[in-house]
Amino acid sequence: MSSIRTTQGHGKLFESILDTVGNTPVVRINRIAPAGVTVYVKFEAFNPAGSVKDRLALNIIEAAERSGELSPGQTVVEATSGNTGIGLAMVCAAKGYPLVVTMADSFSIERRKLMRFLGARVVLTPKAEKGLGMYRKAKELAEANGWFLARQFETTANADIHEATTGREIIADFEGQSLDYFVTGYGTGGTLTGVSRVLRRERPDTRIVLTEPANAALLGSGIEQARSSDGEPASSHPSFEPHPIQGWTPDFIPLVLQEALDAKNYDELIPVTGPEGIAWSKRLASEEGIFTGISGGSTFAVAMKIAETAPADSIILCMLPDTGERYLSTPLFEDIAEGMTDEEFALSHSTPSYQSTR
């Protein structure tokens, strides 16, 4: 008989919740990966506020503290689809900064509630104005009130933290074995840009695969992003269409991502549809016990496409950006019943004790 699992603790006591950001696990896919290849996921839901954006949120604030751009007690403001705002709300709560978030009203209700629960104020902008609308509102509020604008889409603090943490973790976790493919989507572009710096330098044989929504193929269009002199988007990208993969691909190509594009730091671009991402998110949950959102399911969908044709014994690593709990009001959960299903009702009536009624 096998022995019971045991744990030993971290071997240290943490001074702050912020000290727990990063060092997320790489987990093997056991039941749904094709035979002949090995698929791993880097599960960013293990960050304390539940997403990969905890990394950039922490570094944006600490870089601004080091540079003097952010003063004690100063209000922080940022435009976000949710995960960066949640991460910033956690960091600002722990450090004592007020936070105002601007967010298009098309993003999930859970996200605004989570940010407000963590002490942030959330200013909604019309969905017709897309990502650029919430971006402009954040900039206006910063200029009008003297607040610190986090600028996740432009700041060097974004990709730098992924180079210093995410990329280093991958190198350490795959020490002594091959890593044939690294698969990621993009929101701000920080994960791709930061991790690709490390992989190109230290694991040049790793093939880097980028993905974006099929109906919002900004990179696939080949059309360059119009920018102002400081790198901010001057207008919405003409190839953008609304898509269900929240957290991915705003209606402009972020400046943070542009570095990786200019350096050709990815080898292949594979589009994915929202329904594919939803389907694979559900399979990860029900067949692997891995609970991720639509963005994670979409990245995984591309990893599975690669797995179907990859050479034998290939090793694939896929980024899973967040947890599925912030998608309860999205299409990811639209066919999940609140009441009992027919099968559950029948189970209720299959034994004589309490039987539910409809």
pLDDT at res. 287: 98
pLDDT tens digit sequence for 115-167: 999 999 999 999 888 888 999 999 999 999 999 999 999 999 999 999 999 99
- Using DSSP's 3-state secondary structure scheme, residue 225 falls into coil
Q: How many domains does the chain have?
A: 2
Nearest to 273 by CA among 352, 213, 333: 213
Please indicate, yes or no, if residue 351 is contained in any of the structural domains: no
For the entire predicted model, the pTM comes to 0.94
Question: What per-residue confidence (pLDDT) applies to 230?
Answer: 87
Residues with Cβ within 8 Å of residue 128, at least 6 apart in sequence: none
Rounded to whole angstroms, the Cα distance separating 132 from 219 reads 17
Residue 40: the pLDDT is 98
**Confidence at residue 355, expressed as pLDDT on a 0 to 100 scale:** 80
Tell me, yes or no, whether 140 and 180 share the same domain: no
- Say how far apart CA 91 and CA 85 lie, in whole Å: 10
Task: Encode pLDDT of 174-229 as tens digits.
Answer: 999 999 999 999 999 999 999 999 999 999 999 999 999 999 999 999 999 999 98
Q: What is the mean pLDDT of residues 331-348?
A: 91
Contact 238, 252 (CB under 8 A): no
- Please indicate, yes or no, if residue 12 is contained in any of the structural domains: no
Q: Say if residue 145 is in the same domain as residue 188.
A: no
Instruction: Assess whether 131 and 63 both reside in one domain.
Output: yes
Give, in degrees to the nearest 5, the angle at Cα 41 between 36 and 44.
Answer: 180
Range of the domain at 230: 17-46+166-333
Average pLDDT, the chain: 95
The catalytic residues are 53, 295
Same domain? For 33 and 182 the reply is yes
Q: Are residues 60 and 138 in the same domain?
A: yes
Are residue 140 and residue 214 in the same domain, yes or no?
no
What is the pLDDT, as a whole number, of residue 131?
A: 84
How many alpha carbons fall within 13 Å on the CB side of residue 142?
A: 19
Domain boundary among 91, 116, 149: 149
Indicate whether 1 pLDDT > 70. Answer: no
Residue 353 belongs to a domain: no
Give residue-wise pLDDT tens across range 98-107: 999 999 888 8
Question: pLDDT per residue over 5-47, tens digit each?
Answer: 999 999 999 999 999 999 999 999 999 999 999 999 999 999 9
205-214 pLDDT tens trace: 999 999 999 9
Compute φ and ψ for 159, nearest 5 degrees.
-65, -30
**pLDDT of 237 strictly over 80:** yes
Q: By the 8 A CB rule, do 172 and 190 touch?
A: no
* 232 shares a domain with 91: no
- Give me the residues paired with residue 43 across strands: 320
Residues 273, 134, 238: CA angle, nearest 5 degrees? 50
d(CA 181, CA 25): 17
The whole-number average pLDDT for the span 325-346 is: 91
Tell me, yes or no, whether 328 and 259 share the same domain: yes
- Domain ends where: 89, 123, 149? 149
d(CA 52, CA 44): 5
Contacts of 187 (CB under 8 A, 6+ apart): 53, 81, 83, 84, 247, 248, 249, 250, 254, 295, 321
Cβ atoms of 196 and 202 within 8 Å: the answer is no
**CATH number of the domain to which 194 belongs:** 3.40.50.1100
Comparing 198-202, 346-350, 354-358, which segment has the lowest mean pLDDT?
354-358
Q: Are residues 264 and 182 in the same domain?
A: yes
Output the DSSP codes for 151-204. -TTT-HHHHHHIIIIIHHHHHHHTTTS---EEEE--SSSHHHHHHHHHHHHH-T
Question: Do 295 and 172 belong together in one domain?
Answer: yes
Q: Does 264 fall in a domain? A: yes
